[in-house]
């Protein structure tokens, strides 16, 4: 066998050696533990649901789900922090100071005090208060992680709340002026000369956090390609970026590019998505950006 391969064949009669971390102590959480240390008692523990239902919505955020028995699982995961209390303001502060964070999920998680193993398959529990950061939007449909089994120990979740940023302004992108427009995208008509101003779009579905500067880079690359190979009418001067949702779950960051700047008016910012069969595609966290140097107003 090659270097790094297993040197022993594992058979049904082979005995598993004890790993150094089996039954080792884990960091204890700061949350309350029910008197009956079972997953069922944890899920029914009113102290957890009361904390979630009574939680304050931090300024600049919108509450999108409350007191779920599941945490979010979607794209653009940015890590988590353990909190000393169920403090939505503290969790929001973590998100607000983390570049690319759009949402957070705060929750109680029933975790084992020791690493479950053959000698301790179902150890006593501890309640960890988690603040989970996301670089995309959350929704009730993203709250699907209801726990897991670790040996005979059942990890479960309670008091799960989700919050999404509701900014008063778009993120800053060098060379562009941006506007946050919410849950609608551009539906651009022809310009005053009867010409279509739409150029193309680019999709980012690599799991990276939402970042409008990626669209600016794509816009400028499109311009250079079109100057080199096509004509100046295809210069990208304006883009609309948003998160495309499918049945409430984030799919990708979309960058739609135009050769003319369009205003933030109800007739222009009017695309709310569409149905494709039984699937509902919608728009979230939509922003528009105009090139400061060449906004591209047509000559009529």
pLDDT in tens, 164-180: 999 989 999 999 999 99
In 3D, which of 262, 167, 260 has the Cα closest to residue 210? 167
Residue-level pLDDT at 13: 35
pLDDT in tens, 44-97: 999 999 999 999 999 999 999 999 999 999 999 999 999 999 999 999 999 999
pLDDT in tens, 115-132: 999 999 999 999 999 999
CA-CA-CA-CA torsion sign (9, 15, 17, 18) = positive
Q: Determine the 3-state secondary structure of 221 from DSSP.
A: helix
DSSP 7: S
Residue-level pLDDT at 192: 84
Q: How far is CA 154 from CA 64, 133, 147, in A?
A: 27, 24, 7
Tell me the two tokens of residue 125: 């529990």
Is residue 273 within 8 A of residue 234, CB to CB? The reply is no
């Amino acid at each position: 066998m090659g270097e790094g391969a297993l040197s022993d064949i594992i058979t049904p009669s082979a005995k598993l050696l004890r790993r150094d971390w089996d039954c080792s102590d884990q960091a204890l959480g700061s949350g309350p533990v029910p008197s009956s240390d079972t997953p069922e008692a944890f899920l029914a523990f009113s102290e957890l649901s009361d904390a979630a239902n009574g939680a304050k919505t931090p300024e600049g955020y919108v509450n999108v789900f409350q007191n779920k028995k599941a945490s979010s699982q979607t794209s653009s995961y940015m890590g988590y922090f353990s909190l000393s209390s169920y403090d939505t303001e503290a969790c929001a502060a973590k998100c607000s100071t983390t570049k690319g964070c759009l949402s957070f999920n705060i929750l109680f998680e029933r975790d084992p005090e020791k690493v479950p193993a053959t000698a301790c398959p179902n150890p006593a529990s501890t309640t960890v208060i988690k603040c989970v950061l996301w670089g995309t939007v959350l929704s009730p449909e993203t709250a699907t992680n209801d726990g897991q089994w670790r040996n005979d120990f059942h990890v479960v979740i309670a008091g799960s709340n989700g919050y999404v940023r509701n900014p008063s302004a778009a993120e800053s992108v060098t060379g562009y002026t941006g506007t946050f427009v919410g849950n609608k995208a551009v539906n651009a008509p022809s310009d005053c000369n009867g010409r279509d101003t739409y150029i193309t779009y680019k999709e980012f579905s690599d799991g990276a956090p939402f970042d409008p500067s990626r669209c600016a880079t794509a816009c400028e690359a499109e311009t250079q390609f079109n100057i080199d190979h096509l004509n100046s009418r295809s210069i990208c001067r304006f883009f609309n970026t948003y998160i495309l949702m499918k049945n409430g779950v984030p799919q990708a960051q979309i960058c739609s590019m135009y050769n003319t700047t369009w205003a933030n008016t109800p007739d222009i910012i009017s695309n709310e998505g569409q149905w494709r069969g039984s699937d509902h595609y919608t728009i979230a966290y939509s922003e528009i950006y105009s090139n400061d140097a060449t906004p591209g107003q047509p000559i009529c």
